[in-house]
Amino acid sequence: MRSYPNSRLRRSRATSWSRAMHRETVLTSADLIWPLFVTGGKGVEDPVTSLPGVSRWSVDGIASRAKEAVELGIPCIALFPNTQADLRSETGEEALNPDNLMCRAIKAIRDACGDTIGILTDVALDPYTTHGQDGLVNDAGYVVNDDTVAVLVDQALNQAEAGADIIAPSDMMDGRVKAIRMALEMGGHHNIQIMSYAAKYASAFYGPFRDAVGSSGVLKGDKKTYQMDPANASEALAEVALDIAEGADSVMVKPGLAYLDIIWRVKERFEVPVFAYQVSGEYALIEAGAAAGVADRDALLMEKLVGFKRAGCSGVLTYHAPVAARILNG
C-alpha cells in the first residue's frame, strides 16, 4: 500500500511535460461531432439568438462548414433541418421528400468533401410537423408508436439514398432501430451505421435547439410519453440493450452533463461505442457563464469535454466542436 513520503502524488504534477505523460484521458479533434442547422435560401447565415455563435446555414454554407470540419480534423458532422413553415404538416411528409433540405445538404457535402467526412442524419419528425412532436399524433394527442416507425423507416431510407453515413433515430419510438436496420439491409445499405439515441431524456436543456429547428413555437404539449424520465437509470440500460439487439452500431446518451452516470453505466455494461450530446442548453450555459465572468469559456468547455471522455464516451456531439478543435490543434 502506498504511504507518504515514499509516495508523493504531486511529483508527477510538478511539470507540464510530466502532467501530459501521466494524463489518463486524452481528447482530440477526432472525438468531436459538429451539429449543424440547415435552412433554405442561398448564401444565408441566420444566427440563432438563443445559441450565441451558432447559425442556421443554407445548403452552400453547410458545404463550407463541412470543408472547415475536415481542415480541423473533425471526422463527422450532424445535420438538422429548419424546415420552412409552409412545408410542415400534421404527418411530416416533407421528411420523405428526396429534395428536402436534409437531402440537399447531404449531397452538397458529398460533392464538396467526398468521403473525407462522415455525415450523421437525424431521424425524427419534429422538424417537419406542425405540432412539433417527433411522430404521428392521434385524435387524443398521443404520439402513436408503430405508425410512426413506418414513416421513420422511409425517412431513414430517404437519407441513406441521399448519401448519409450514419442514421441517428432520435424519436424514441419502440422498435424503430430494428425496423430501420432491416430496411437498410434489404435496400443494400449494409455499411450505413445506426447511432441510436438510446437514452434520450425529457430534458429542460433542449430549448435553444427547438428554436434552431423552428419547432419550439409550434410544439403542442410535451414529449414525456416517449422521452425518458430524468429520474430513471435502469430504464436507460434496458433501452440501450434493446437498441443494440436491434442493430445499433453505437448509442447516444442525451443530454450529456447531467447524465454522466448513465454514460458510465452503459459503457461498463455493454462495452459498445457510447456518444454524448452536449445539448443546446448546455452550450448556452457555457456561453452565458463566460459572458458573466464566471470563468474562461475555453477552460469551461474543455473541462466538460474531458469529463465526457473520462466517463466513457467514444465521442461528443457539441456545437463547440470547431472551437474545441482549434484549441486541441493548438
**Which candidate in 223, 254, 304, 309 is catalytic?**
254
**Cell triple for residue 140?**
387524443
- The closest of 134, 48, 127, 131 to 84, measured between CA atoms, is 127
Active site residue 254: yes
Dihedral, CA of residue 30, residue 78, residue 42 and residue 287, to nearest 10: -80
Residue type present at position 123: V
Question: Which set of grid coordinates corresponds to residue 6?
Answer: 515514499
C-alpha distance across the termini of the chain, in Å: 40
Composition of the chain by helix, strand, coil, percent to 5: 45, 15, 40
* Alpha-carbon distances, residue 101 vs 85, 271, 327 (angstroms): 13, 35, 31
* 14, three cell numbers: 510538478
H or E element at residue 32: strand 32-38
DSSP 291-330: HTTSS-HHHHHHHHHHHHHHHT-SEEEETTHHHHHHHHH-
Asked if 102 contacts 121 with a C-beta cutoff of 8 angstroms, the reply is yes
**Residue 223 designated active-site:** no
Q: Of 200, 223, 267, 304, which one is the catalytic site residue?
A: 200
Q: Are 253 and 259 in contact (CB under 8 A)?
A: yes
Q: Give the residue from 91, 35, 27 showing the smallest Cα distance to 327.
A: 27
Neighbours of 263 (CB within 10 A): 26
User: Hey, what's the cell of 227?
Assistant: 422521452
Contact 22/307 with Cβ under 8 angstroms? no
Question: Which position has the grid cell 423552428?
Answer: 214
Q: Which residues are catalytic?
A: 200, 254
